[in-house]
Amino acid sequence: MSDTMVEKQSFARYKTNNTIEEGDLVVTYLNRETMGMIRVRKGEYFNCKFGSYKHADMIGLEYGTKLGSNTGRGFLYLLHPTPELWTLVLPHRTQILYIADISFVMNFLNLKPGMSMIESGTGSGSFSHSIARTLAPTGHLYTFEYHQERVNAAKKEFEEHGLSDMVTLQCRDVCKDGFDMENKVDAIFLDLPAPWEAVASAKKAFKHNKIGKICTFSPCIEQISRTVTALSEQGFVDIQMFECLIRFNEIRVIPMWTIEEAMEKQRAVEKKRKRDKPQAASKKNGKRQERRTQEDTEEESSKDKVAKLESLVDDSNDSSAAATPMSTSGSEAEPSSATSTPVVAPEATMPSATTATTTTTAEAEPRERIDPKNVVVTRLPAEQRGHTSYLMFATFTPAFQQPSLREKKAAEAQS
Amino acid sequence: MAALGPSDTINAGENVFIKMPSDNVKCIVLKPGSTISLGKFGEFKADDIIGHAWGNTYEIYDKHKTRVYHSEEMNEIEETANNNREIVDDPSSQKLTLDDIKALKSEGLKGELTGEEIVNRLKDSHATFDKKTAYSQAKYLQKKGKKFLKIFTPIKPTAYSVNEYFYIKNPAKIRDIRMDTLSQVLSYSNVHSGAKLLVVDDTQGMIVAALAERMGGKGTILGLYDGDNARYDVVKYMNFSKEIQDTIKTLSWLRIHRPADEKTPDEMQDVTQLTGMDLEGYHRRLKAYNIVEESRKALFEADFDALIVASQYQPESILEKLLPYVRGSRPVIVYHSSKEALLETSTYMRKRPDLLAPQLTESWLRKSQVLPGRTHPEMSTWGTGGSLLTATKVIDQPVQAALTKKERLAMEKRNTEAKKLKRAREEAADSAASSPALADDAATVDAGATVTTTTTTTTTTTSSSATIISEETVDAERASKRVKQE
């Protein structure tokens, strides 16, 4: 890093000028599934299936800009890195925490600027980034990981993401060796296979004379059972447990025709069919009719049912729809009432560009195409996340008290 | 010892939530010298807890003396051979009469009996207690404890605890926003120390309070409000320092643009001629005027790091006006207590070329009882916690060099139309002397959306501009759609 660089890019804040400069990190967004992060270097290219993008083209652009590819076949969005985006693009070295759990835990632990906190293990650093952003600029995160390679990778990331001055990363097995910290932190987060082994040492790390909050994150209920016993033995109080999930809705706009509109369309189709091939249609239908008569009465009864239903529909819609009872049996008989009753369906009277206008008769021509009413609906995906982990919280109570107002007054009165 | 700051201790004059054995929470202002009554759980002196660190539970003894209470550790329940075969529903199994229990209660209030002693008496005089299963016994003691123990816990107001308090007590007040949904607003908004946020908050300030806590006194929250004042009642419960309080700025929707007939205090009066009361009045007006001017300035800098809307009004209409003030690559969040209210907004957002990947989410939260050997989800749970619609503001100005032919054509068309519009506006501006503030505002919106992303505070005025803009937006939408199809 050169000394001339005034502002070091950090995941804990936005760049003041919001402009992409040489050496900056950019989250490349092609679509929800295709995101990544690059460091912008003059002379380098970002390639994907839609084409190639010159890094040089990105320099000087504002974050959030839509950049077209050289081929003109695609584009990508250049986004400013944030902890939330990092969670979506980071290289997975372990299972990671996602936004639902991250958010809830941070809220419950009451994280805010200036606090100090322990996290163990660091894992892939998903949560670490969110914590660091929230404690910045004056707070501090102590994060522990027992896997040396993960430590190295996370260390590099914290440095590259401008967080290293507020994150202390240690390679340490806290279950075996403890945190070796005393009277230091306001909050503790344990994402360990055996959190109960770290509870006693965690207790020591809390600032002794202040309230502290601890959260353990365990996928299995058996882990919770053992941890709750350990927390209780160590004097933690107000033990609470939550599960939190985010449901992502799919939004669709679906067309919804009324049954009258559907009937009208059907009428139009039948009319057209009759007009186009009157002979063929009758022949075909005739054959079908023959075959049907040979079939059992079940078919007949179901047909009756349909007819009954239709009449129900017709009745419900005053007299207008009754004008043209629709036949599903495929009979070529002229809709009887079409000529006798000049009542017109209300939707047919509406002026519409799609209305077929082959004849100029007074009767409304049934429309083949009708613009439906569009309805916006949501749906939960058939498969979705059903469980992440159990979030168990407990409170550390201050070990000794400052004198109360009454005690102070009494002491003053004595002296 | 770690040094205790003012926010680490229970201070005089602050809001405190008092949690009682029944799990009910009471909100009080801690006045020095006062006695606080907790009804059947007794009363205590405020001075006894003022100055203490947060986090302890207190026991009331000897009428209204308090001491720190240590709850026993939770024990694993040892299974016994008992079962409920022998137990019949019989009110006479409790040998104490109602009057006996009343007498015990009043003794308790006088301080002659502790809560634990009362519970033990009840247990001892219960005919079939010993026959109960171990689990049932534990449950019985817990239930009686909730009635007779005289303990209380002062709870520090935080975004979480304040939200929990109102969500349980009066969810309508905060528009049903639950702690998990609120926490997601905080994450999606990427709120941090030094951020500058644009907020429309009709949750009585619940969201503003949570955001302000996360900024810790650095940065700006600009809240737009309608009516006489910003109704941020919830913020008052947070015991914010002045430093944090000062990060919250407000601006009335009607004051976004200075009304044509509004005069500055200096225009109204010549300060050199004023004395006494008049001079004081002038300074008061000047202060109020400067506050509004400062908020306007903050808005027109158009460099917000997030837009958060939790309004009773149609979200689209708000987005339409406020999106131009948000920077590129910044989150836009709309909260509503019902998902259905966000459906139209969601389709609207999908059509906007300057919003990326709108997403409609709901949160699900389940709480469990955790006791050794007795862990299970709670029998009653929460319904909705509200819905969130989130997206990222992007710059609807595809980089020229890389434009496709279609995009370039669409853009040229837009530019010529914008020029035409400008000319039409200039002509109209000559004829129309004044115009309503809303149309005025829409003009600014247009400038931000179509010309550049740099700050635009130009306030061209035509009452017809609002309708023209919507046509233009539709055009832009079509252009971007075409690109998407490719």
Q: Which residues of B touch A130 (CB under 8 A)?
A: 187
> What is the pLDDT at residue A317?
35
DSSP state of B110: H
Cβ(B347)–Cβ(B387) below 8 Å: no
**B451 pLDDT more than 60:** no
How many CA atoms does the CB half-sphere of A44 hold within 13 Å?
10
* CA–CA separation, A383 and A180 (whole Å): 44
Report the gap between the CA of A350 and the closest CA in chain B (Å): 25
Lowest-pLDDT range of A115-119, A366-370, B180-184: A366-370
* CA–CA separation, B181 and B365 (whole Å): 9
Interface contact B184-A110, CB threshold 8 A: no
Interface contact B402-A133, CB threshold 8 A: no
Domain limit, last residue, from A34, A60, A79 = A79
Cβ(B328)–Cβ(A18) below 8 Å: yes
Both A169 and A122 in one domain: the answer is yes
**A289 pLDDT more than 60:** no
**b/e string for B250-284 if b means 16 or more Cβ within 10 A?**
bbebebbbbeeeeeebeeebeeeeeeeeeeeebee
CA distances from A174 to A143, A236, B110, B412 (A): 10, 19, 50, 63
* CA–CA separation, A372 and A258 (whole Å): 8
Q: Is residue A342 part of a domain?
A: no
> What is the pLDDT at residue A59?
94
Q: Are strands B25-29 and B15-19 parallel, antiparallel or unpaired?
A: antiparallel
Interface contact B375-A228, CB threshold 8 A: yes
The pTM score is: 0.80
Q: Is residue A323 part of a domain?
A: no
Tokens 């005069």 -> residue: B263
Cβ(A387)–Cβ(B377) below 8 Å: no
Structure confidence by residue, pLDDT tens digits, B370-397: 987 788 999 988 888 899 999 999 998 7
A57 is in an annotated binding site: no
Whichever domain contains A38, its CATH number is 3.10.330.20
Nearest to residue B375, comparing CAs of A193, A215, A226?
A226
> What is the pLDDT at residue A163?
97
Q: Is residue A173 part of a domain?
A: yes
Nearest to residue A209, comparing CAs of A227, A185, A175, A236?
A185
Which residues make beta-bridge pairs with B368?
A241, B377
- Band (pLDDT 50/70/90 cuts) for residue A280 is low
Which residues make beta-bridge pairs with B34?
none
Cβ within 8 Å of residue B170, ≥6 positions away: none
A64 → closest Cβ in B186, B213, B393: B393
- Provide the domain limits for residue A69: 25-79
Other C-beta atoms closer than 10 Å to the C-beta of A73 total 12
Domain limit, last residue, from A15, A49, A79 = A79
Q: Which residues of A touch B1 (CB under 8 A)?
A: 183, 207-209
Nearest to residue B74, comparing CAs of A222, A220, A226?
A226
Structure confidence by residue, pLDDT tens digits, B64-107: 888 888 877 666 667 677 777 777 777 778 888 888 888 888 88
* CA–CA separation, A260 and A357 (whole Å): 20
Both A102 and A192 in one domain: the answer is yes
The 3-state DSSP class for residue A49 equals coil
Both A103 and A63 in one domain: the answer is no
Both A240 and A111 in one domain: the answer is yes
Other C-beta atoms closer than 10 Å to the C-beta of B427 total 11
Interface contact B347-A240, CB threshold 8 A: no
The 3-state DSSP class for residue B336 equals strand
A376 → closest Cβ in B57, B186, B343: B343
Q: Which two tokens stand for residue B214?
A: 């996360």
Q: Is the peptide bond before A137 cis (omega within 30 degrees of 0)?
A: yes
Both A186 and A94 in one domain: the answer is yes
**What DSSP line would sit under A10-24, residue for residue?**
-TTS--TT-B--TT-
Q: Is the peptide bond before A121 cis (omega within 30 degrees of 0)?
A: yes
Give all strands (DSSP E) within B120-159, no chain letters. Answer: 151-155
Both A42 and A112 in one domain: the answer is no
The stretch B187-192 carries a mean pLDDT of 98
Cβ(B282)–Cβ(B271) below 8 Å: yes
Q: Which of A339-343, B45-49, B92-96 is predicted most confidently?
A: B45-49
* CA–CA separation, A24 and A42 (whole Å): 11
Both A110 and A35 in one domain: the answer is no
Both A149 and A202 in one domain: the answer is yes
Q: What angle do CA A335, A337, A338 make, to 5 degrees?
A: 65
**B405 pLDDT more than 70:** no
**A365 pLDDT more than 70:** yes
Would you call A129 an interface residue with chain B, using a CB distance cutoff of 8 Å? no
Cβ(A145)–Cβ(A121) below 8 Å: yes
CA distances from A173 to A155, A158, A250, B346 (A): 17, 20, 43, 47
Alpha-carbon torsion B156, B161, B166, B168, what sign? negative
Cβ(B42)–Cβ(A397) below 8 Å: no
Give the phi and the psi of residue A388 in degrees, each rounded to 5.
-115, -70
Please give the domain boundaries of chain B with CATH numbers for all domains: 6-71 (3.10.330.20), 84-149 (no CATH), 159-260+289-393 (3.40.50.150), 400-485 (no CATH)
Both A173 and A197 in one domain: the answer is yes
Both A98 and A233 in one domain: the answer is yes
> What is the pLDDT at residue A336?
40
A112 → closest Cβ in B183, B213, B368: B213
Interface contact A62-B218, CB threshold 8 A: no
* CA–CA separation, B39 and B19 (whole Å): 13
Structure confidence by residue, pLDDT tens digits, B229-238: 999 999 999 9
* CA–CA separation, A64 and B306 (whole Å): 13
Q: Is residue A5 part of a domain?
A: no
Cβ–Cβ pairs < 8 A, chains A and B = 280
Q: Is residue A341 part of a domain?
A: no
Nearest to residue B192, comparing CAs of A160, A166, A198?
A166
- Band (pLDDT 50/70/90 cuts) for residue A414 is confident
B55 → closest Cβ in A63, A246, A398: A398
- Identify the residue with better confidence: A279 or A131: A131
Would you call A63 an interface residue with chain B, using a CB distance cutoff of 8 Å? yes
A383 is in an annotated binding site: no
* CA–CA separation, B114 and A229 (whole Å): 27
* CA–CA separation, A69 and B253 (whole Å): 41
The stretch B306-320 carries a mean pLDDT of 97
Q: Is residue A239 part of a domain?
A: yes
Structure confidence by residue, pLDDT tens digits, B236-267: 999 999 999 999 999 999 999 888 888 888 88
Would you call A52 an interface residue with chain B, using a CB distance cutoff of 8 Å? no
* CA–CA separation, B133 and B139 (whole Å): 10
* CA–CA separation, B440 and B408 (whole Å): 30
B2 → closest Cβ in A107, A210, A242: A210
Q: What is the ipTM of this complex?
A: 0.80
Distance linking the first and last C-alpha atoms of chain B: 64
Q: Is residue B127 classed exposed, middle or buried when 0-12, 13-18 and 19+ CB atoms within 10 A define those classes?
A: exposed
Average pLDDT, chain B: 83
Phi-psi group of A120: left, alpha or beta (phi > 0 → left; psi -120 to 50 → alpha; rest → beta): beta
Domain count of the fold of chain A:
2
**What DSSP element (H or E) covers B367?**
strand B355-369
Would you call A229 an interface residue with chain B, using a CB distance cutoff of 8 Å? yes
Q: Is residue A375 part of a domain?
A: no
B56 → closest Cβ in A66, A212, A398: A398
Distance linking the first and last C-alpha atoms of chain A: 60
Interface contact A64-B48, CB threshold 8 A: no
* CA–CA separation, B54 and A398 (whole Å): 8
**A20 pLDDT more than 90:** yes
Amino acid in the structure at residue A75? F
* CA–CA separation, A230 and A236 (whole Å): 9
Interface contact B396-A66, CB threshold 8 A: yes
Structure confidence by residue, pLDDT tens digits, B168-179: 999 999 999 999
> What is the pLDDT at residue A25?
97
Q: Which residues of A touch B49 (CB under 8 A)?
A: 404
* CA–CA separation, A40 and A55 (whole Å): 6
Cβ(B224)–Cβ(B253) below 8 Å: yes
Whichever domain contains A197, its CATH number is 3.40.50.150
Report the gap between the CA of A168 and the closest CA in chain B (Å): 19
Both A95 and A237 in one domain: the answer is yes
Cβ within 8 Å of residue B423, ≥6 positions away: none
Report the gap between the CA of B298 and the closest CA in chain A (Å): 15
Cα Rg of chain A, angstroms: 35
CA distances from A345 to A274, A320, B407 (A): 21, 5, 44
Both A103 and A153 in one domain: the answer is yes
Q: Is residue A97 part of a domain?
A: yes
Domain limit, last residue, from A79, A105, A121 = A79
Q: Which residues of B touch A403 (CB under 8 A)?
A: 51
* CA–CA separation, B128 and B143 (whole Å): 16
Q: Which residue of B has its CA nearest to A221?
A: B375
The stretch B300-329 carries a mean pLDDT of 97
